[in-house]
Each structure stands twice: as C-alpha cells, then as structure tokens.
Amino acid sequence: MATTAQSRPAPDVSPQHTTTLWAQIWSVLQGLLIPILSVITAIILGSILILLNGRDPITAFEGLFEGAFLEPRGLLLTFRNMTPLILSGLAVAFAFKSGLLNIGVQGQLIIGSVMAAWIGFAVEGLPPAIHVTLAIVAAALAGGLWAAIAGALKAYADAHEVITTIMLNYIAAQFAGWLISTGSDGSRPGPLASPEAVTDAIARTPEILPSARLPVVYTVPPNFELHAGIFIAIIATVAITFLLYRTTFGFSLRMAGYSPSAAKYAGVNVKRVTIMTMLIAGCLAGLAGGIQTLGVNHGYEANQSLGLGFDGITVAFLAGNNPIGINFSALLFGAMDAGTTRMALNANVAKELIQVIQALILMFVAADQIIRRIYRIRATGPGARLKISQNK
Amino acid sequence: MSETELGLALIATINFTIRYSVPITLGALSGILCERSGIVNIGIEGMMLLAAFTGFMANVTLSEPQVSPALQAAPVRLTLAVAVALLTGGLLGLLHAVLSIQYKVDQIVSGTVINILALGLTGYFYRLNAPTLGKLPNLIDNPFGRDSSLELKLADNLTLYLPYDIGRIIFDKDLITYLTLVIVFVLGWALFHTTWGLRTRSIGENPRAADTLGINVYRLQYTNLFLGGMLAGLGGGFLTLAAVGLFEQGMTTGRGFIALAVMIFGNWRPWGALRGALLFGFATALQGQLQQFGIDFPHQLVGMLPYILTIVVLAGFVGRAQPPAFSGKVYETEG
C-alpha cells in the first residue's frame, strides 16, 4: 500500500482495483516512471549547463557519484545528509496528506535546532541516554508547537497556512539569530550566545555537553563520524506510515485532505485534525533540526541548515508524498549534496549546479505532463488522474 | 555627539526608508498583479534574485573593453541592463504561468521551483568581483546647496538646512525610485478604474463568471503574470543597478517574502503596499539609527516585525485582509 508512489490510487477510495501481484508491481513501476524520468531529464539539462560553461559533464557526474558513494567519507556524508532530508520530507508529506502545504519546515527546523542546543548545553548532570532523549524530544516538541501556531491560525482564523508558515520561517530565523547574536556590533550578546563566539565570526551557541551528543555508529578515520540519527529517521518513517494508514486519526487526516466538507459531514473535527497535523509535521521538522544540532554541529550556529526546509518539499514531491519513497528521494538528494565537493574539485563545476538540478526535478515531478509529453507516456491506471497538483 | 547628528540621522532615516521600500514595493505590486489575476506568486524572491543577477551581468558584459563605446555610454548601457532585468522577471512570470495554468502545477510548488532555480542559477553563473562601469546615476541632483540654505537650529544637536535637506530627500534619487512611485500610482488607478483592471479583478474573484462574460481568462492571466514578473524584475534590477551596484549571492535575503507580507498588509492594493513598504522600511531604518545613538535594541527583533504584523493582519486580529477569492486555485474552462 505504501508503494503506490506517484499515482497514489488511494486504497480506501478504489476497491474495484484488482490486486494481483503483477498488477501491483506494474503499478509501482508506473509510479516510479515519472520520478525517474524527471531526475534523468533534470540531469540532462544540468549537463547542458555544464557544457555552456565549457566543462565536461561526464567528469562532473562521475565526480558527483564518486564523492557521494565511492569514498568512505562521502558515503558517510550521504547518509548524514539524508537523515534530516527524510524528516523534513516527511514533515511536508504528512501535512500534504491532509491538504496542507507546509512551507514552514525551515522555521520549525530552526526552532528544533535551537531547542536541542539549549537543552544540550544548559542541562547538566544527566546520564547520556536520558540527556540525548530529552534534547531530541524537546526539539521535536518545540518544532511541533511552532507549526501548531500555523495550524491554529488556519483552523480558527482561516489564515492560509502557506503565508503564515512563510512568515513563521522568517520570525524563527530572526528569533534564533537574536538568541545567538554575538554582540560584535556593540549590542548585548543574545541570551544563548556562546561566550567564546563573541570574538568569532560565526554566531553560535556554546557547544553541547558530550552527554547530549547523538551516539556515533561508525567512524571514518581520522574523525569523520556517522551519528545514529538515520535510525531515528527510519523509525519516524515507519511510525508515520502506521499513523497515516492504520489509525483512525490517519484516516480522518487523509479524508480531510481529499474533501474537508465530506470529512466534516462524516463527523471529523477538521479544525482539530488541522492543528494536530501541523503539530506532528512540525515535530518531524523539529526532529530534523535537533538531529543536526546533536549529531553534526554539536550546537546551533547561524544558517546551519539553510535550505533544508525547502529541499524537504522537493524530496516529498519526488516521492509523491509517500513516506517510504521519501527515504529514497532523500537518499538521492543527500548523495547529490555529498558529491558536490568532489564534483567541483574534479570538473571545476560550481556546486550550485545541484540546486538547479533539484529545482528542475521539482518542476518536472510537479508538471508531470511535460515529462509525459517528452517521453510519450499515456496516463493510465485508476490513480493516474489524481495528480499532485489537484489534491488541494 | 556632534551638533548636527540628529538632523543628519533624520535625513538618513528617511532616505534609508525610501531606498528599502523601492524593491519591496515593486515585489508587492508583482504579488498584487498576480493574485488579483487569481495566481499566487511566492516566486517573487526568485524573480527578483535572477533579474538582479542578469541585469547586473548585462551591465558587466557591456562594460567590457571590446564593446563599442556607443553601447557603453551610461544611458544606453544601463537602459539595456534594466531591460534585461525586466525581461528576466517577465520570463520567470511566464514560466510561473505556464506551470500553473498550462500544467496545473500547484502554484505554491511552482513558486518554490522559481525560488530554488534562481538561487541555483545565480550561484552557478556567479563571478567574483565582476567589474562594471558604474550604476544608475541620480536622475536629478539636488539643486540646493548647503551653503545657500537657511540654517535652522531647532535644538542643540538638531540643525536642519532648508531647502537643502528637503532636496536631499526629494532629489538625489535614481530613475527606478521615481518610476516605482509612478507605477504605484498607475497600477492603483488602472486596477480600479479601467476595463483591464475590472477584468483582472474579476478573474481573481470569479473566473467562471468572467469566462461566461467572454473574458479570455487564461490570456489575461498570462499577460498579467508577465507584467507581474517584470515588476519583480525591476525590483531586482534596482538592487544591482541602482542601490548596491554589485551582485552578491542570495542578495535579495528574503525581500521577496517581505514583499508578500507587504502585499497582504496593504490588503492587495498598490497604495496599501507602498504604505506597508514604507512602514517596514522606517522600522528597519529606525532600528539602525537607534543603534548609532547607543540605544540597544536587537535588530533581529525589529526584523521580526513585518512578519508578525502580517500574521496579525491575516488572522483578522486587526482589520481584515481580503484576498482575491479565487487566488491560488486552479481554474479549468468547461468542455
């Protein structure tokens, strides 16, 4: 059921769909076709850009692959990158299932990061297991509550969640910026600013205590570490899948997404569902931020996860908002980000190329008609008419 | 504290407010034009950024020594550069239109595509320290001299020179600043007093009814999104061709989203947008000045203000924002 990536035939809506094994596999492949072709087309267009700059695309993408998978450090980086991407992708997808477009992952993530850092350095004397858990839970809750603001505004004041979450993004960024401001411009340092950072260029919180660090799973010498966050992301994926497809709440959430008025008549408290959906989505985003703080940065510093929130949108849409699929699209994006350094080094191609490719992927996945037209794919199957774009 | 400090600060504050509000106003006008036509545009940021870049690069290219002097003369070169910025914005507006009208992509997703694309493209083609022959000069220089002005000593540390100080506010501005004011006026009038304006508002409120009356909804949407993109492009061009004179990566730093805030704050009306932009500009300017006078108030907290106010307005706590009814939805013709 979780494998209906792109076309999303909505199992509770189309019982007439015969489910022999082959039919299922075929529908999965069909679902994968558009995302894969989107990625390929975006890469081809990216290659043209590389050629325009007089560089060699083959060398560039070889470098990208090498940097992302073949070097031990790179593979580790790929896994490390994909962790917050899974969670921010889930944060977008989960909200989307109930018809909400969560553009606010970035802000929720920042709030989570700061919260984790604060618990991480300010709470002393706890055993590691408890300290990490406390920091993670606090990060998730903080992100969740931040997102719930947008949910409540939607539910009770009819304020569109896209606008409020965008505004909350900037409020979060400014707020975090104030908390850690160094005071180098003559003003007072922020309440969470590191005392040592006052002279430093980058504003940041003090380093978290060793007891708050995420446990290290694997180390590449000399000191390149993979933290345990990837497991949290996978557990979150399973939990979200279960919540969406196996619980009453998940059912009412999806129903509110398909048709709010129908859900209302069926007795679903749409207002409550809206707030809860945003709360949970925000928890996922906060978790992503917390993991970055506790596992990678060991503190919160200015601009530490710039763009992660918006990448979450692309990751989610590439996977057709399917929780399991998000793990794979996050892997792809994590690898792309990990390989850029090698690509830049080998082929002298600026790393922003990856951003262009990612934007194109989002465009093609969302405008699947373009891909269908280029590759002459006809829309088939019961779910084919239900496109991402029409879900709202 | 020297004697004239307060007077200087006053003028500086006003001038900063104006300079800050120009791109924000243009961005907000872009948003208004698009939303009034029924298409949400959260890609303003990206349109501004890419236009700022292409306008600047046009200026850089035309400044190269091998280009003929006729093209390098300041008016020709800068007109071309502004035109490139306008065109870039317009084309991105069309992209937004094609994606959201032809391919029925969610308008928010389409806007996000534009934002990420602009960030990527400008980063990819970015060149460090590209030289130019200069930015837009002031359209009119201050005709008043300080020496010939009347010195008004209002307090120990507040001295004004009239009309010199007034001249510094009214004149000494570049073309785009004056143009923005004209556009606000023209758009504010056209939107509410012309056939085009009535049609535009009607497709944003009820495209079905407009369609029934024989208005070509899609064509008007395409036109308006092109125009809207051009407005955002002009805002971007202002940054690199008039205000700063240089391009830096990600230099719009959220101005496109402040513009969105201002659009809502101004209740989807051009004059309201200008007022909102000036208000936010003033808050930002004041904050910078306060710091110089040793009043310690964190600028980040002032920076939060536009966004908080927007939420407050949007949620109906103060007044009531009235977005165009059909904005953000997909309109499909029958049959």
Give the pLDDT score at B198.
Answer: 95
Has residue B323 been placed in a domain? no
Specify the CATH number for the domain of residue B257: 1.10.3470
> Are B116 and A355 a contacting pair, CB within 8 Å?
yes
* pLDDT reading at A371 higher than 70: yes
The rounded mean pLDDT for chain A is 87
* pLDDT reading at A391 higher than 70: no
Q: Which one, of A347, A285, A291, lies nearest residue A311 by Cα? A: A285
Does B116 contact A392 at a Cβ distance shorter than 8 Å?
Answer: no
Q: Which one, of A388, A328, A386, A389, lies nearest residue A11 by Cα? A: A386
CA dihedral angle for residue B121, residue B122, residue B123, residue B125, rounded to 10 degrees: 80
On whether any CB of chain B is under 8 Å from the CB of A92, the answer is: no
- Please give the Cα distance from A73 to A225 (Å, whole number): 9
- Please give the Cα distance from B83 to B51 (Å, whole number): 10
| DSSP secondary structure code for residue B335 in this structure | -
Q: Which residues of B163-172 are buried (b: 16+ CB within 10 A; e: fewer)?
A: bbbebbeeee
Does A168 contact B311 at a Cβ distance shorter than 8 Å?
Answer: yes
Give the pLDDT score at B72.
Answer: 86
CA dihedral angle for residue A361, residue A367, residue A368, residue A372, rounded to 10 degrees: -110
Does A101 contact B115 at a Cβ distance shorter than 8 Å?
Answer: no
Q: Which residues of B82-109 are buried (b: 16+ CB within 10 A; e: fewer)?
A: bebbbbbbbbbbebbbbbbbebbbbbbb
Cis peptide preceding B163, ω within 30 of 0: yes
| DSSP secondary structure code for residue A281 in this structure | H
The rounded mean pLDDT for chain B is 89
| Amino acid type, A157 | A
A217 backbone dihedrals φ, ψ, rounded to 5° = -90, -35
Give the pLDDT score at A389.
Answer: 40
Does A167 contact B42 at a Cβ distance shorter than 8 Å?
Answer: no
Instruction: Work out the pLDDT band at A12, boundaries 50, 70, 90.
Output: very low
Picking from B35, B57, B103, B260 by the largest number of A CB atoms within 10 A of its own CB, the best residue to mutate is: B103
Instruction: Work out the pLDDT band at B2, boundaries 50, 70, 90.
Output: very low
Could you tell me how many CB contacts below 8 A there are between chain A and chain B? 158
Give the pLDDT score at B172.
Answer: 87
> What residue of A is the nearest CA neighbor of B254?
A170
Has residue B330 been placed in a domain? no
For residue B332, the distance in angstroms to the closest alpha carbon of chain A comes to 11
Give the pLDDT score at A80.
Answer: 93
Give the residue numbers spanning the domain of B163: 5-314
Residues in Cβ contact with B293 at an 8 Å cutoff, skipping those fewer than 6 apart = B9
CA dihedral angle for residue A342, residue A344, residue A347, residue A349, rounded to 10 degrees: 150
- Please give the Cα distance from A48 to A57 (Å, whole number): 8
CA angle, residues A336, A342, A345, in degrees to nearest 5: 135
For residue B301, the distance in angstroms to the closest alpha carbon of chain A comes to 7
Domain count, chain B: 1
Say which range, A2-11, A94-103, B131-140, B307-316, has the weakest mean pLDDT.
Answer: A2-11
Cis peptide preceding A222, ω within 30 of 0: yes
**Cα–chain-centroid distance for residue B85?**
13
On whether any CB of chain B is under 8 Å from the CB of A352, the answer is: yes
Has residue B335 been placed in a domain? no
pLDDT digits (tens, 9 = 90+) for A229-261: 999 999 999 999 999 999 999 999 999 988 888
- Chain B residues in contact with A372 by the CB 8 A cut-off are none
On whether any CB of chain B is under 8 Å from the CB of A101, the answer is: yes
- Please give the Cα distance from B43 to B32 (Å, whole number): 13
Has residue B221 been placed in a domain? yes
Q: Which of A60-64, A141-145, A214-218, A267-271 is predicted most confidently?
A: A141-145
A362: nearest CB among B116, B300, B308:
B116
Residue B237 token pair = 């061009």
Q: What value does the mean pLDDT take over residues B24-49?
A: 96
Does A159 contact B308 at a Cβ distance shorter than 8 Å?
Answer: no
Has residue B320 been placed in a domain? no
Picking from B57, B98, B110, B116 by the largest number of A CB atoms within 10 A of its own CB, the best residue to mutate is: B116
Has residue B325 been placed in a domain? no
Residue B153: strand pairing partners = B159
pLDDT digits (tens, 9 = 90+) for B113-122: 999 999 999 9
pLDDT digits (tens, 9 = 90+) for A310-352: 899 999 999 999 999 999 999 999 999 999 999 999 999 998 9
Has residue B322 been placed in a domain? no
Q: What value does the mean pLDDT take over residues B202-212?
A: 92
In chain A, what are the domain boundaries?
84-320
Q: Which residue has the tokens 């299922």?
A: A24
For residue B322, the distance in angstroms to the closest alpha carbon of chain A comes to 11
Has residue B327 been placed in a domain? no
Q: Does an H or E element contain B19, and which?
A: helix B5-36
SS3 A301: strand
Say which range, A10-14, A288-292, B102-106, B231-235, has the weakest mean pLDDT.
Answer: A10-14
Q: What value does the mean pLDDT take over residues A62-85?
A: 92
